[in-house]
Chains A and B, each alone.
Chain A
Amino acid sequence: MSSPAARRERALLLMGLPALLLLGVLFAWPVLRLLSMSVEDGSLEHLQRAVLDDLYLAVLFDSLKIAGFVTVICLVIAYPLAFWLSRASKIGLALGMFALLLPFWTSVLVRTYAWMVLLGRSGVINRMLRDWGLIESPLPLLHNLGGVLIGMVHVLLPYMVLPIYAALLRIDPDLPRAAEGLGAPRSAIFRRVILPLSLPGVAAGCALVFVLSLGFFITPALLGGGRVIMIAMLIEQQVRELLDWPFAAALSVVLLAVTLAIYAAINRLTKGARLAS
């Protein structure tokens, strides 16, 4: 006779098994198989090229730089927004959530297309500025870093707002009240109580946004106009145009390693910060 606990565990495992099989066959296996292609012919040559060649290294650093910019911009915009949402009236919250979630659910492609319409040389913004006589010749808003950043921030902002908003909501409303009763002015209530208690949300948001932007493909491909190359675009190019699978695999190894390392580092860092504060 097995114990009820053991039977329960067996039933649970049975429930999860189909999904785990799917993840194994269609996620873990293809990813690991691809990564192994980088050393398929028994040499480290492809990996060496991916991390040592100046050209590819530059793309990697550009990708990191863009991901960093996007994360910082998202944080600067998202924190005040989340703070406002956490204190908003019912109607404000409903409108805010709608404005946040509708773009969040709308296809990245639709949004990227819309930014092309807005930012192009003869796009909506340039047209309006010229009609109002504010500029002579069209501003270069598209096909450069700025255009890519605008598009990426637009896509990733909700990923930063939602965790911070959730962390702010989790703060017991009696805590700021207690701080006020103990004599803290509003600035101190924010700095000493609200900010430190919302840091886990900030960390989660930063980790998510950084990691997601590092692997971005569609938005930089369309808004960068070939002038902004991110590592995911490089991988696609190796497979599609050059059919160089081992090197695409090597670049994938680099991308995945950097992604996981940074994800782990941000989580570790904030855990430390939380204990220290």
Chain B
Amino acid sequence: MSEKIPVTVLTGYLGAGKTTLLNRMLTEPHGKKFAVIVNEFGEIVINNDLVVGADEEVFEMNNGCICCTMRGDLIRIIEGLMKRKGKFNAIIIETIGLADPAPVAQTFFVDEDISSKAQLDAVVTVVDARWLKEQLHDAPEAKNQIAFDDVIIINKTDLVTAEELADVERQVRSVNAYATIQKTTKSAVPLDAVLGKNAFDLDRILDIAPEFLEDVHGHHDTSVKSIAINIPGDIDPDKFMPWISEFTQKEGPNILRCKDIPSFKNEPKRFVFQGMRMILDGDLQREWKPDETRQSKMVFIGHKLNRAAIEQAVEAYRA
């Protein structure tokens, strides 16, 4: 089985600095040859040989799951690109600020032809430090987008005060406890902060500081939030698996993303789940290290999620 092509989804409002970052990703030496899928074809100058215009056609899958949307145009474009092996070894998909990132990301999980050849590496959003607060306030979509991110680049930090910046960061954190945050000016982040993130490597969630999550409780705005759960010791997969699959089916419309590493009893390897909406994708990954504390960590990002109920359920499956 050959390696899957990594896909970076790059989003951001107009003027946030997305194109600057994109051009840096394309021109700096890092040994990658990109195919770039853009939404405003021909309107911006992109320094790359392989640039494809997308139609942003969002389709609902007719499979009984109302929230299961995907991008039909992306399937066609990626199928076409995959016929040209050797011309590129990574893909960047640029989307506009207010586009719902879910259909783009879900395409890589729902379509088997695509998921067998390409893998979502990370969803990266560039935000303007000056405007984020207003955007989060005015547009609920902005919140959904932040909730979906793996990497959030707070750009133009030189144009706000230290206090304002801290406030922006707090707001981002209250929505998404999982993402890594980069603070910068002129989109000048190191590229290894955006490329090769391998969203499936969820080690990061093990390091989420609990205080971020406590913040959420005191925050008046609870429309989109992160819930992180940490259960020490092992849990019973025979009980947990049916629960998580039923939970995501039932709560799917409210879950934007979830990332879980349950420690399964008698399993030397770590099981890793990654989910969005009703879609749940899981696999055994590396072994638990001898000096590692076995524990089950889970992060759910979404609306109307009941922390106590989730905690209680998972607690009951302790082995």
Whether both chains belong to one complex is answered with no
- Which residues of A are interface residues toward B (Cβ below 8 A)? none
- Which residues of B are interface residues toward A (Cβ below 8 A)? none
